[in-house]
């Protein structure tokens, strides 16, 4: 049922992007999210587009799979586009039909904002598609380590994150299972009037909540039974290693940033 969802999912492969250090990937994505706002004209968007496509190509994720997984998100992108096109009232009037007026600035804004949105989604999915949840949390924990000085609970945060990421597939499985059990009892999740479909969520959500609470309690007990006492003095099994490729990737991003600043209007 949710087989096609790719958000938050890891696709194992041995590509250049997969082999990067999670820290560099996190930094790259974070910077990318910032510098994408530098783009404000045709050339800068093309530049961002080329960069995104290049990164996707390097990751060796099948395009067909990406497309199938992002299809639901494309509707959101389309919605953003239409919203901008219909409600921006700047620039010269392009088209008029009764109360509907489309302005030049609206079309421009619409295309740019939806492109920005689309590239953001692609790049952020790239992070989760090529990095295991454990790598992501390890990377975050090391990156945020300096914050410990100001008493920010870095380890606890990382633990919380890895636990929630760890249980996403479990929760998905559970959802699928309960959904099937309720379908077998005559619930219609995917057809029928909208009111009925909303009501159909209750037999799904309540069992999910119940089992999640139970699972959380069991997990806490299991952790205590194995002597968990927080992150103080804890060593790591997987060690992160920063390689030349990571530095190069960061450099490419710096170059991209400089180009964007030069080309933006």
Partner 1 sequence: MDISLQNIEYRYQANTPFERLAIKDVSINIPTGTYMALIGHTGSGKSTVLQHLNALLLPTEGSVIIGSQEIKAKQKNKNLRMIRQKVGIVFQFPEHQLFEETVEKDIIFGPMNFGVSENEAKERARLALKQVGLAEEILEKSPFDLSGGQMRRVAIAGVLAMEPDCLVLDEPTAGLDPRGRKEIMDMFYSLHKKRNLSTILVTHSMEDAARYADQIVIMQQGHVVKQGTPVEIFSSVTELVEMGLDVPEVVRFQRMLEEKLGLKLERTYLSIEELSAAVAELLRGAPV
Which contiguous run of DSSP H or E holds residue 93? strand 93-97
Beta pairing partners, 96: 101
- Closest to partner 1 by CB, 96 vs 217, is 217
Min dist. Cβ of residue 146 to partner 1 (A): 37
Specify whether the CB–CB gap between 121 and 49 falls below 8 A: no
CB of 64 to partner 1, least distance (A): 7
Closest distance of CB 59 from partner 1, Å: 12
CB nearer to partner 1: give 12 or 233.
12
To partner 1, the closest distance from the beta carbon of 180 in angstroms equals 5
What would the two tokens of residue 88 be? 């921006």
- Say whether 91 sits in a helix, a strand or coil: coil
Cα end-to-end distance, the chain, whole Å = 46
Q: Which is nearer to partner 1, 178 or 250 (CB)?
A: 178
Return the number of the residue (202 or 221) whose C-beta is nearest partner 1.
202
Least Cα distance to 187 among 174, 195, 175, 199 occurs for: 199
User: 178 CB contacts (<8 Å, ≥6 apart)?
Assistant: 203, 204, 207, 208
| Least Å from the CB of residue 13 to partner 1 | 8
Determine how many CB atoms are found less than 10 A away from the CB of residue 148.
12
Please name the helix (run of DSSP H) or strand (run of DSSP E) that holds residue 103, with its range, or none. Answer: strand 100-103
Least gap, CB of 11 to partner 1 (angstroms): 5
Q: Note the residues at the interface with partner 1 (CB under 8 A).
A: 3-4, 11, 61-62, 64-65, 68, 174, 177-178, 180-188, 202-203, 206-207, 210-211
Q: How far apart are CA 242 and CA 250, in angstroms?
A: 12
Return the number of the residue (28 or 129) whose C-beta is nearest partner 1: 129
User: Please, are residues 106 and 84 in contact by the beta-carbon 8 Å criterion?
Assistant: yes
Closer residue to partner 1 in complex, CB, 38/178:
178
């Amino acid at each position: 049922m949710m087989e096609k969802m790719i958000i938050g999912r890891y696709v194992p492969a041995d590509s250049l992007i997969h082999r990067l250090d999670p820290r560099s990937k996190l930094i790259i994505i974070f910077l990318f999210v910032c510098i994408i706002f530098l783009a404000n004209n045709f050339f800068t968007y093309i530049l961002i587009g080329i960069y995104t496509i290049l990164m996707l190509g390097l990751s060796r994720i099948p395009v067909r799979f990406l497309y199938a997984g992002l299809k639901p998100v494309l509707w959101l992108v389309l919605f953003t586009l239409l919203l901008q096109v219909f409600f921006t009232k700047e620039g010269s009037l392009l088209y008029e039909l009764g109360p509907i007026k489309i302005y030049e600035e609206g079309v421009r804004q619409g295309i740019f904002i939806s492109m920005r949105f689309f590239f953001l989604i692609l790049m952020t999915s790239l992070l989760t598609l090529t990095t295991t949840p454990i790598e992501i949390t390890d990377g975050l924990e090391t990156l945020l380590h300096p914050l410990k000085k100001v008493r920010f609970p870095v380890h606890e945060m990382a633990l919380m994150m890895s636990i929630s990421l760890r249980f996403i597939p479990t929760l998905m499985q559970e959802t699928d299972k309960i959904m099937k059990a309720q379908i077998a009892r005559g619930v219609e999740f995917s057809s029928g009037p909208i009111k009925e479909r909303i009501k159909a969520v209750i037999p799904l959500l309540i069992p999910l909540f119940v089992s999640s609470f139970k699972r959380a309690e069991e997990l806490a007990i299991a952790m205590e039974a194995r002597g968990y006492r927080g992150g103080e003095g804890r060593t790591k099994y997987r060690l992160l290693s920063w390689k030349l490729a990571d530095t190069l990737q960061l450099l490419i991003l710096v170059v991209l940033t400089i180009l964007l600043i030069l080309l933006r209007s």
